[in-house]
Amino acid sequence: MEYKYLSLFFLLVGGMIFLLIFAPILDHVFYVDHKLDELSKKTILMTTLIHILLMAVLIFIIHNYIIKKYIKYFKLSDIYVKIIDLILALTLTGLQRNLIFKLRYLSSHHPIRDELIT
């Protein structure tokens, strides 16, 4: 029983090391300076959507080529695979500084939010 948790821990650590290498590269591709007011909202929205899609592709690659490949050696159930995927997706999203910055900008200029605040 302890073997399962130890293998789960090593699989999570391996996935997070992979993310710590590739997440800053993905974030740097979508770098924006602090002059978002100069860009149109459509441009910001499109780059945000593309950023999210590329994150989904990276999570898909991690899931299929790291998690699925090594999960059979650890003999873990599907619930552990889902937990690992959730942790890795949340970690990848948290490492995207530019995505978070753009989402805050877009949500602060949302028409419904403007109506609720004022």
Dihedral in degrees, nearest 10, Cα atoms 14, 20, 21, 24: 160
Residue pointed to by tokens 């441009």: 43
Quick one: what percent of the chain has pLDDT higher than 70? 86
Please give the average per-residue pLDDT across 78-92, as a whole number: 81
pLDDT greater than 70 at residue 21:
yes
Parse the chain into domains and list their residue ranges: 2-31+38-117
User: How many whole angstroms separate alpha carbon 39 and alpha carbon 36?
Assistant: 5
User: How many whole angstroms separate alpha carbon 96 and alpha carbon 92?
Assistant: 7
Q: What is the pTM of this model?
A: 0.71
Quick one: what percent of the chain has pLDDT higher than 90? 0
